[in-house]
Amino acid sequence: MSGKGSVAVGGEGNEVEGDWSVGMGRGSKVSHSGAFVWSDSSEETGLESDGENRFMVRAKGGVAFYTGEGRI
């Protein structure tokens, strides 16, 4: 992790070089500023950011969002 104000949260093999960025999961690679990358454990190769200020998620099992009213 070398980006200013960046963080790698949990998992393993995460690399965060972009400033103010977040990498999570297994093998996330964040080289762009302002990016958030969540890489699940479904593949040996991680997920890599492809632009600044991007929100990227690989979740082969699906994605669910919840509000105060339940799942949306």
Instruction: Point out which residues pair with 15 in neighbouring strands.
Output: 29
Residues 41-68: tens digit of each pLDDT: 998 889 999 999 999 999 999 999 898 8
pLDDT of residue 19: 97
Hey, is 18 helix, strand or coil? coil
What's the rounded Cα separation, in Å, for the pair 24 and 57?
10
Residues 11-49: tens digit of each pLDDT: 899 999 999 999 999 999 999 999 999 999 998 889 999
Q: What is the pTM of this model?
A: 0.86
